[in-house]
Amino acid sequence: MAAPETISEAITQAALGPKRSKEAGREIEEHDMDQLIKADNHVTAKTAASKNHMGLRFGKIVPPGAG
């Protein structure tokens, strides 16, 4: 299995595989799913905040008939 390039790929791989496995004297444990989701949310928020609109969406609301 290839190493994930993004946190979203890591979440997908962790969801498809076992949390803990033991084979030939080696034990492997994955990251907790909630930690991966929190990390993904953090990266998404950081990416949105780095844009010039700081992750906010602005819209102009015009009531009907006011024009």
| 32-67: pLDDT as tens digits | 778 878 888 888 888 877 777 666 778 888 888 766
Q: Radius of gyration over alpha carbons of the chain, in Å?
A: 21
How many Å apart are CA 22 and CA 29, to the nearest integer? 9
Task: Please compute the mean of the pLDDT values over residues 10-39 and round it to a whole number.
Answer: 80
Q: Is a pLDDT exceeding 80 seen at residue 14?
A: no
pLDDT band at 24 (very low <50, low <70, confident <90, very high): confident
Token digits of residue 49: 């905040």
How many Å apart are CA 6 and CA 39, to the nearest integer? 11
pTM attached to this predicted model:
0.52
